[in-house]
A = this chain, B = another copy of it.
Amino acid sequence: METPRSAWNREPRAVKRLSRERIVNTALEILATEGMEAVNMRRVAQALETGAASLYAHVSNKTELSELMLDRVLEMAPVPDPDPKRWTEQISEVLRNQVRVMTAYPGIARVRCQTITPVGPNDLLQTERMIAILRAGGLSVRQAAQATDMLCLYTRAFAYAMSMWTFGTIDRDDHVPSQREQQIREYMNAFPGEFPNMLQTSELFSAETAPERFDLAVEMFVAGLTYLAARNADRPANNCPTQTRR
C-alpha cells in the first residue's frame, strides 16, 4: 500500500522538514480534534509522516512539547495595557480570554496545572500584565501578585474542568457523564433528606451552564478585589508599603 520512494516522488526532507514549529502545530491540531489523551509522541510523529524518535531532535521530551503547546495557546489571549479607570473590566476580560483560548484546546490547562510557576514567555507576560492591572486598581504589589496567582489558578482549574465535558476520560466505564451522574443521583436518593440542595441543583452543572458559573466567579472575584482596594484606600500607609500611585 505504501508508495515506494523514488527520484520522482521524493519529498522526504527538503519539502517538509521537521521543526519545533511544525511539531507544536501538529500536536495542537491533534489536541483540538482528538483530545489530550490522543497526543502522544507516536501519534504526533505519525501525523508528520515520521517516527517518534525523530521528534526528540527538536523537543527534549514530551513535557517540553506540552509546555510549548501551552505557550502557543496562551499567545492567542491578548492582555491589555493597564488602564486605571477600567481595571475591573480589564481583569474580567483577561480571565475570560484565558478561559476562552484554553477551552478551545481541551486539556491544555492540565499542563499548566502541573507546573509550579508560570512557564513560557506568554504566560510570564500575561502574569506581569495582570499584576500591573491590579496595581492600577489600588492593590499593593504584594496583594496584586498574590491575587493574580489566585485568579490564574482558578482560571486554569476551570478550563481544565471544562475540558472534562468535551472529552470524557476513558479510564472508567462510567465516565460517560450521564451514566455516572445517574449513579450518583441514585446514591443520593438512597439517603432521603440528606442531600436536598444537591438534588435540587444538580441539573445546574453541565457544559452549557459553564459560562454562567464562570461569570458568577468573576463577579465574586471583582467584589473581593474591590474590597481589598477599598480597604487599602482607608489606611493606605498600613497595607501599601510599595504603593506608588496617587
Contacts and interface: CB of A to CB of B under 8 A. Distances in A.
Interface of A: 61-64, 113-119, 121, 124-125, 127-128, 131-132, 135, 141-147, 149-150, 153-154, 156-158, 160-161, 164-165, 169, 171-172, 177, 180-181, 184, 187-188, 194-198, 200-201, 204-205, 212-213, 216-217, 219-225, 227-228, 242
Nearest to A200: B141
Contacts of A184: 117-119, 124
A165 B117 CA distance: 10
Contacts of A217: 146, 150
Number of identical protomers: 2
A123 to B, nearest CB: 10
Given A117-B181, A220-B227, A153 B145 contact: no
15 contacts: A63-B172, A116-B165, A119-B184, A124-B184, A124-B188, A128-B196, A135-B197, A141-B197, A144-B197, A147-B216, A149-B205, A149-B213, A150-B217, A157-B157, A220-B220
A213 B150 contact: yes
A45 B51 CA distance: 36
A124 B157 contact: no
B128 A171 contact: no
A242 B6 CA distance: 75
B213 A220 contact: no
Majority DSSP secondary structure for residues of A touching B: helix
Contacts of A62: 171
B213 A164 contact: no
Contacts of A146: 204, 212-213, 216-217
Contact of A116 (B119, B161, B201): B161
Contacts of A114: 164, 169
